[in-house]
Structure 1
Amino acid sequence: MVIATGSRPYRPADINFRHPRIYCSDTILSLSHTPRTLVIFGAGVIGCEYASIFSGLGVKVDLINNRDSLLSFLDDEISDALSYHLRKHGVLVRHNEEYESVEGDDSGVIVRLKSGKKIRADAFLWANGRTGNTDSLGLENIGLTANGRGQLSVDEHYRTAVSHIYAAGDVIGWPSLASAAYDQGLNSCNELLDKEYRFVSDVPTGIYTIPEISSFGPNERELTEAKVPYEVGKAFFKDTARAQITGDTVGMLKILFHQDTLEILGIHCFGDQASEILHIGQAIMQQKGAANTLKYFVNTTFNYPTMAEAYRVAAQNGLNRVF
């Protein structure tokens, strides 16, 4: 058996989600009016994406983050860029905050924070985490126990603690992406049928904020902590002909590579079509040996004008730093 029951928004018991002005990331999709002001609690991927959507519609958004930076798993430079562009579009980001209470009335919602602040808005969106759909499965009858977020632990064969029961997708937690869930479902079935399979570990991120963000491989902070001697190659979208033609000049492609071998270690991108652009670098990174080096992008002719050409620009920029 493969358990692939997915997930749903986590809903704390002390918030009344039956109130017509209090939403989770699913129920917000049935919003029947455009609020003038909106408080979003939770500044993870979902919270940042909704903040981009609503600020783009002209809604004044308060984005409440219970950490000290946005999407801290991202490259620091790209996280900073996201913060800048959200604020530029009118999003007020509040870091290191926790909610005390959320109270709805006929005209709006009052959010009280543990720091003593109180915020009033037309609507409230809870976007802080998801929980696995396991609570009604009767797992106790087969000796399985989910964690506090309803998720099951698996080994590198997708097996749960009960060896003939497998699990895949959001119900096993990280990375909780549709792209990974497709692969996990396929490979868990292949494993239990004794076919060739792989454990899905190298997963690109695609974050559909404005600007869009995508990355594959370790970031600068992680490489520095691991004492890997890396160098950086950058291409800014504003310097590419295609971005100038389309007017989508906000963005950057960053290639991280080994100083000595020129092996590509990580690709980080933000801007229009970032999650499409990333796949070029991902394909080269997963080649073996000499095929995975910065020189590939210098020695390959890219169509002009294209956004893919940013790889050649970034590679030349990086090689100029090598001595």
Structure 2
Amino acid sequence: MNARVEDFDLLVVGGGKAGKTLAMDHARSGRRVAMVERAMIGGTCINVACIPTKALVTSARAVRTLERGRSLGLVVDDDVPVDVDLLRQHKTGVVDGMVAANLQQFLGSGMDFVLGEALFVAERTVEVALADGGTRVLRGAETVVNTGTRPRVPDIPGLAEAGVLTSETLLELQTLPARMTIIGAGPIGLEFADMFAAFGTEVTLVAPAQRVLPREDPEMARAVHGMLQAGGVTLLLGREVRSVSRDGGEFTLRLSDGTVLTSDAVLVAAGRTPVTEDLGLDRAGVATTAEGFVAVDEYLATTAPNTWAAGDVAGSPQFTHASLDDYRILKTNLAGGRRSTRDRLIPRTTFLSFDLAHVGLTEEEARAAGRQVRIARLPVAAIPRARAGRDTGGLWKAVVDAGTDRILGATLLGDSAGETITTIQLAMLADLPYTSLRDMIITHPTMTEGLNLLFATLSED
């Protein structure tokens, strides 16, 4: 370490949602801030995750709308053409615009934005191999690790050698494959399965899990399963991929039950792994967990003094909105407060041709915790706005404490569920009884109006 050490009030390693927001906030307040980012200006979400995938989900939903155009009074061709070049232009245009906006915000905040590879060489100190050549050594009075995660490639014989796709490399496909096999039944795998089925690809999804979305309510997971099948996805669950091989442009997958699949593309969607192994965290006194995540306490403090971690790499729920709340926690705690990650009510949404949104406890979790519950269910077809748009697939379900009438959780499947779940979340945060949503005057006809109907089913028990 021959370069001169440059000192900063705050050093952020990795420019994800928590890190970049904290860096800009501190820089605008007049503090001296440096943020090091390896490659993705704006973070994973903008470049290879939430934003580009949701741009393509929008395209897939448009295809589905055109497919049912005649039922909406439109004259459309039976075959809806999908142009992969136009899809890529749409996705790239959205991403490039947000990357440019982020870079402008970084520079406008007054931070020292450093593009390069960071390696910890001592406590709160990194040596950065700059992207344009040269080296800098940066030290923070306070340091935050926010390096995120990358796609996990499981140890399946032949998988890595076959040149399969991940959720990141898939976004650069030059052609739409005629046949695609997806390994994994979590949100990422399902989003791509539904998307490519809409684009006309023959999609087969394989997973060792007995059902899709194992962390979700079993009843709602079955409903998702049915809607995916109706959309053209073949699901082979409870089966493991034993080996993968490739001959030219064709992949062969051998499954645990003897099934042999052939495919033009294989996507691995088997979760994500933390970006920590090449950071030199041991030199900084920062411990990691057995899974490789940075070990933090409920205040996001690491095992090293004045060193923090946030976002996916800290084991926080892998959502951009959770990372944004990590920023709020760090902002408070760096100012001497004691804000905690405990008992956060964090919603989630899987974006298919329809939304699957959830907040709080599932029925299974509530009963396992010993709660006496009442269950509200409503088919989306009962909601006037859904009927008006002929988009009636789905089911809404809420879990209510039988003794207090408080909402313990909800899972909504169908059109606009990701928007509607926020109303339930707000009622839970305000500790309102379910009757508040049952009796609230809600604009007609909207999807949120379905909450009146959903919670009215409890009065019919």
| Mapping of residues 241-280 of structure 1, within 5 Å | 241-280=384-423
1:97 to partner: Cα distance: 2.1
1:280 to partner: Cα distance: 0.4
Deviations 1:96-132 (Å, cap 9, x if unpaired)?
2222222122231111223332211011001111111
Q: Percent identity?
A: 28
1:298 match: 438
> Could you list the runs of 5+ residues in structure 1 that have no partner in the other structure?
none
Aligned amino acid, residue 34 of structure 1: L
Deviations 1:17-73 (Å, cap 9, x if unpaired)?
5756x2111000001111111110111111111111111112111111121111121
1:283 match: 426
Paired residues of 1:17 and 1:23 also in contact (CA < 8 A): no
Instruction: Please give the secondary structure, in 2, of the residue aligned with 1:203.
Output: coil
Deviations 1:189-233 (Å, cap 9, x if unpaired)?
321221463426321011112331011111111122222111122
Q: Tell me if 1:42 matches 2:187.
A: no
TM-score computed with the length of structure 1 as normaliser: 0.92
1:231 match: 374
Alpha-carbon distance in 2 for matches of 1:189, 1:102: 47
Aligned amino acid, residue 146 of structure 1: T
Q: Tell me if 1:214 matches 2:357.
A: yes
Paired residues of 2:300 and 2:314 also in contact (CA < 8 A): no
1:135 to partner: Cα distance: 1.8
Deviations 1:154-196 (Å, cap 9, x if unpaired)?
1111112224221111102241111101111231232122146
Match of 1:121 among 236, 252, 263: 263
> Could you list the runs of 5+ residues in structure 2 that have no partner in the other structure?
1-142
Are residues 189 and 104 of structure 1, via their aligned partners in 2, closer, same or farther at CA, if it must alter by over 3 Å?
farther
Q: Tell me if 1:80 matches 2:222.
A: yes
Aligned amino acid, residue 282 of structure 2: E
Q: Which structure's CA Rg is the greater one?
A: 2
TM-score computed with the length of structure 2 as normaliser: 0.65
Are residues 34 and 194 of structure 1, via their aligned partners in 2, closer, same or farther at CA, if it must alter by over 3 Å?
same
Q: Tell me if 1:317 matches 2:457.
A: yes
Alpha-carbon distance in 2 for matches of 1:223, 1:296: 21
Instruction: Please give the secondary structure, in 1, of the residue aligned with 2:165.
Output: strand
Instruction: Please give the secondary structure, in 2, of the residue aligned with 1:155.
Output: coil
Instruction: Please give the secondary structure, in 2, of the residue aligned with 1:24.
Output: coil
Aligned amino acid, residue 171 of structure 1: V
Q: How many residues were matched structurally?
A: 317
Aligned amino acid, residue 78 of structure 1: M
Alpha-carbon distance in 1 for matches of 2:258, 2:394: 37
- The 10-residue stretch of structure 1 (277-286 or 240-249) with the greater mean CA deviation from structure 2: 240-249
* Two-structure CA RMSD over aligned residues (Å): 1.9
Aligned amino acid, residue 255 of structure 1: A
Aligned amino acid, residue 351 of structure 2: Y
Alpha-carbon distance in 2 for matches of 1:150, 1:210: 34
Instruction: Please give the secondary structure, in 1, of the residue aligned with 2:235.
Output: strand
Alpha-carbon distance in 2 for matches of 1:115, 1:143: 47
Alpha-carbon distance in 2 for matches of 1:221, 1:80: 14
Paired residues of 1:235 and 1:311 also in contact (CA < 8 A): no
Aligned amino acid, residue 422 of structure 2: H
Are residues 6 and 244 of structure 1, via their aligned partners in 2, closer, same or farther at CA, if it must alter by over 3 Å?
same
Q: Which has the higher helix share?
A: 2
1:171 match: 313
1:60 match: 202
Aligned amino acid, residue 299 of structure 1: D
